[in-house]
Amino acid sequence: MLNFEFYNPTRIIFGENTIARLDELVPAQAKVLVVYGGNSAKAFGTIGEVTKALGQRKYVEFGGVEANPDYLTLLKAVDAIKEHELDYILAVGGGSVIDGVKFIAAASQFAGEDKWAILEGAPISQALPFGVVLTIPATGSEMNSGAVISYRERGLKRSFASPLVFPKFSILDPSKTLTLPERQTMNGVVDSFVHIVEQYATKQTGAAVTDEFAEGLLRVLLQVGPELKANPNSVQARSDLMWAATNALNGLLRLGEVGDWSVHAIGHQLTALYGIDHARTLAIVLPGVWQYKLEAKQAKLAQMARKVFGLEGDDERELALATIAKTEEFFHSLGVGTRLSDYDLDVQAVVAVVANLEKIGATALGEDKDIDLVASTKILTSRL
């Protein structure tokens, strides 16, 4: 097992009817920016519940944070914080809203004029405190310290991380996810699945506990995905998905393991350029990366075949290939396409994505840092 460090101070409040607890979780004197995405948070009454729970506290609403939150939108929220002299933020939504709030929390306290510098690695020395009311289980952002921000005007999508942007608390009420469209629910299953395997399906490091946790979460997703496709009203399955998605990216699964993350790096460009849902970009790229790195990943993919898909056999290569096939099958069963052509993209997209990877210096990806631009081209070409 590799040495590791783990620290995660986010308080989780999990269960139905927990939004009212905001009154004890948000400091009594806080002046709050309530950030949300589209109209559904308002239409389904969640924003009303949240502002009611805030009681006498001063608050300002900021809606309209888009999927893959845009830098320019978030700058307006930073302005709102200054204008209204706010000192606390509440994110009400999924990963896009939470990631956006992490950036707002940091940017509002960032001395430099150019806030995009944060996405280019400029150090953060402070951030506003914030809490989360989660409505989409998918990204795990509710219990980690990372965020991904898009800059559409420049065709960019970059990430940053800092212990200063752990949520103070996250309220996870699975009943709030009952109104999600099927597409978003299934995206959440795929996103969580890929978060797990980006940490798990790399090298054998002998981290037995972490492997067990990863395999257990994958089995849960294999079960709740089809369950929710058949019966979206199951609060039980919604609960399991919600807690699985959080654990998929709260730091537990990287402990003692070597991460890959090439699938995300390549997938981000497909979102930046063509606006494809994040989860769907991962479903496209993942089988290509696994196929390209078959030899290096063979032992772990074979372990996954046995422990996650319940397959038997002695041929490690055959088992690894079966994992790739079974994974694609699983994504298809959720209605998620796994090829560029499923999204009306052709070889032009390969060229454009690789050009973007070059632009941001993503030329040595994966657990062995051997996915260069040529390899990315091969991987994407295999996904036409």
Binding letters toward a second copy, positions 256-275, x by CB under 8 A? x-------------------
Tell me, rounded to whole angstroms, the distance of Cα 41 from its chain centroid.
19
Rule CB under 8 A: choose which of 66, 215, 328, 372 binds a second copy.
215
Residue 85 CB neighbour total at 10 angstroms = 9
Rule CB under 8 A: choose which of 132, 244, 336, 349 binds a second copy.
244
Between 14 and 151, CB nearer to a second copy: 14
Q: Which stretch binds a second copy (CB under 8 A): 1-9, 87-95, 127-135, 348-356?
A: 1-9
Instruction: Please tell me whether residue 233 binds a second copy under the rule CB under 8 A.
Output: no
Between 100 and 137, CB nearer to a second copy: 137
Q: Which stretch binds a second copy (CB under 8 A): 89-97, 152-160, 234-242, 308-316?
A: 234-242
Rule CB under 8 A: choose which of 116, 243, 261, 274 binds a second copy.
243
Q: How far apart are CA 14 and CA 33, in angstroms?
A: 23
Query: What contacts 117, CB < 8 A, 6 or more positions away?
Result: 110
Q: How far apart are CA 264 and CA 46, in angstroms?
A: 31
DSSP secondary structure string for all residues of 87-141 = -EEEEEESHHHHHHHHHHHHHTT--SS-GGGGGGT--------EEEEE-S-SS-G
Rule CB under 8 A: choose which of 77, 92, 224, 319 binds a second copy.
224
Token output for 323: 């994992």
Cβ at position 7, least distance to a second copy in Å: 4
Instruction: Please tell me whether residue 208 binds a second copy under the rule CB under 8 A.
Output: yes
Among candidate residues 109, 112, 172, the one with its CA nearest the CA of residue 140: 172
Binding letters toward a second copy, positions 284-303, x by CB under 8 A? --------------------
Backbone angles phi, psi at 47, to 5 degrees: -60, -40
Buried/exposed code over 318-354 (b: 16+ C-beta within 10 A; e: otherwise): ebbbbbbebbbebbeebebebebeebebeeebbebbb
Cβ at position 213, least distance to a second copy in Å: 6
Q: Which stretch binds a second copy (CB under 8 A): 10-18, 80-88, 183-191, 356-364?
A: 10-18
Size of the chain, expressed as the number of residues it contains: 384
Site for a second copy, residues 134 to 163, rule: CB under 8 A:
none
Rule CB under 8 A: choose which of 9, 275, 313, 335 binds a second copy.
9
Between 3 and 348, CB nearer to a second copy: 3
Is 101 within 8 Å of 164 (Cβ atoms)? no
**Number of residues forming the site for a second copy (CB under 8 A):** 39
Token output for 52: 């009611």
Which positions lie near a second copy, rule CB under 8 A? Answer: 1-16, 18, 206-210, 212-213, 215-217, 219-220, 223-224, 236, 239-240, 243-244, 247, 255-256
